[in-house]
Chains A and B, each alone.
Chain A
Amino acid sequence: MFAYKVSIKNYEKFLEAIKKKHELIAPVKKGLVRFEPIKDIKDIFLEKNAYFPVKEYFFKKQEVLLKFQGIKVTQPKLESPTRVFFGLRRCDLNGIKHQDKVFMETIKDPYYIAARKNSILIGYHCEKAPSKYCFCGTLNLADFYDLIFYDRQNYFLVEVGSKKGLELVDTFSEFFEKTKIKITPKEKKIRGADRLIKKDISQLYDNKDWEKGVNACLSCAACTSLCPTCYCFEIHDEVKTSNPTESERKRTWSSCQLQSFSKVAGNHVFREKRSERFKHRIYHQLDYFKERYGVNLCTGCGRCIEGCPTRIDFVDIINKMKTSKIKNVKTKR
């Protein structure tokens, strides 16, 4: 794809121009780093990856699906604002790609599609892993963006990834300078993010270490809510207290780490133990999703580890499971 050079000055002007035209959403540091609508482009924070993923802009934490008046059902009016997202790392971009598969391919989810369709995704390439928990390196992340910025310290190199991206460059062509510089596959590689040694866990299902690894789990579900890809939800009805004949059906994020996640009538719970729920999450991320959609669900951002109050590091746990046999031989005294 084409590459463009953007000077630091033009970079600021470009974002300023976008902000004038559309809503601009980018990482901001307010204690923790999160994606927020930008008021002043100086607030954009790119030193670290955002603590919270961007998914809530498309797959909302809570959303009204249907409105009832007696037995009459209607769908609330859905808005599709043009929003430009800037500063998305490859893990977050691929997270969006994977959620697209769920909400736009498996079904046509009108709520997700409305929120997603007029969004423009501008990536920010990580030269090296921004956190010690990152492990995207071995997960074969795809080039999925409209534009992506490579930070070359005194200028930016911008790669176009889609028609939408090209149109954006055309619209704001005064800030983009065509260049013959090519971004090589080696330059796309993120240094220091290769710690997931083997992502194929298909043979580890009966490994006893799933149990050992999660003794410290509090079932708090921080891992799933901070995950850029986790997409489980529940649906509940709420009656309007002002008028009991009116009600709303709402979708809310849920978490497979909670015991109630698999509870059926009669109070039977299918994944009763924390280790079973932990294993289910990792299998969904690295095995089940791939079986259905051809890619790992996990994009290696490491948020589920960084955000875990007891720092359960599933990458470390899996790595140890894999190597335990070899280790035993080597460490024999």
Chain B
Amino acid sequence: MSKQKDNSENPYMPKPYKVLEFFRETPDTFTITVKMKIKHEPGQFVQISVPGVGESPISICSYSKEHIKLNIREVGNVTNALAKLKKGDKVLIRGPYGKGYPMHSFIGQNLIIIGGGCGVAPLKGIVDYVEHNRKDYKDIHMFLGYRSPKDIIFSRELEEWRKTYKLTVTVDENQHGEFCYNAKTGFVTEALKESKITGKNTVAFICGPPVMMKFVIRILREKGLKDEQIYISAERLMYCALGICCHCMIRGKFTCMDGPVFRYDEIGNYEND
């Protein structure tokens, strides 16, 4: 169960890594590329520190041997402080932690990727993984929902994704009729409902606000997907990321250790537990 390689190592101790790039995605989101060469799975996360402010769990939104990318939304003290990072700075990180998406078990299947807002971040790890292993998977459907055109993250990548995958982008509102990747105005759930996806030889990945996930699951079931074909990435309050502080428990499961990626049938009615 332990993530430690060396018993004498302090599991709470972060290590410094160099920031290779800071990219402003939206007014309140940015992506940093960190020179952390570490084996990881898409869907895993790291604990990132700002001394004197605190630590935050952030999912890895890339798949590379050279670095990790972290997409961060400025919603709290730690993330606000992280927004001050610049290229060349050192940042304290420990991890990676948790179970990611078991990509090996989906070889030969169609993938449906459904993300809402900053929930797109962990799912980008899947896309990066697929890019490295494209022939292993069949059709890739992506449904990405954002609040408005100015909230769209990964705009640089969306251009590429549009060419390669079956991409549907939605925005809840688009008052000024801005261009945004042929985005439909409406909820991502509506776009999903209208689509012709089926449950045959398919697996779906969802990450987004709890209410969105709830409705997406309902639609996927209507489309014929079983709970075993649905993977969610759960968000919980987390301190240790080591399976002991208990804040991230979903019934008896620890989001930090048994998740954050769960097959939906494993945690069932997860929303109020």
A interface residues (Cβ-Cβ under 8 A, vs B): 65-66, 68, 70-71, 73, 75, 102-103, 105-110, 231-239, 244, 247, 249, 254, 256, 261-266, 268, 270-272, 276, 280, 283-284, 287-289, 291-292
Contacts and interface: CB of A to CB of B under 8 A. Distances in A.
Interface string B100-133: 0000000000000000000000000000000000
A238 B52 CA distance: 5
B186 interface: no
A262 B13 contact: no
Nearest to B77: A237
A289 B90 CA distance: 39
A271 B12 CA distance: 27
A187 to B, nearest CB: 35
A231 B244 contact: yes
A232 B243 contact: no
A271 B270 CA distance: 11
Given A109-B244, A110-B10, 5 more contacts: A107-B3, A107-B4, A232-B247, A238-B52, A254-B247
A68 B52 contact: yes
A233 B243 contact: no
Contact of B54 (A110, A232, A237, A256): A237
A268 B12 contact: no
Contacts of A103: 244
A272 B90 CA distance: 38
Nearest to A236: B54
Given A233-B245, A249-B12, A261-B237, A108 B252 contact: no
Interface in B1-59: 1-4, 7, 10-14, 16, 50-55
B11 A109 contact: yes
Contacts, number: 116
A59 to B, nearest CB: 10
Nearest to A65: B12
B2 A247 contact: no
A276 B3 CA distance: 31
B239 A233 contact: yes
B76 interface: yes
A232 B246 contact: yes
Contact residues of B: prevailing secondary structure: loop
A294 to B, nearest CB: 13
B214 interface: no
A318 to B, nearest CB: 17
Contacts of A234: 239, 245, 247
Given A73-B92, A108-B4, A272-B272, A102 B239 contact: no
B247 A262 contact: yes
Nearest to A287: B252
Contacts of B3: 107
B249 interface: yes
Contacts of A235: 12, 54-55, 239-240, 245
Contacts of B244: 102-103, 106-107, 109, 231, 233
Contacts of A237: 50-55
9 contacts: A75-B13, A106-B243, A108-B2, A234-B239, A235-B245, A263-B237, A266-B75, A266-B209, A276-B272
B52 A247 contact: yes
Contact of A71 (B7, B51, B79, B249): B51
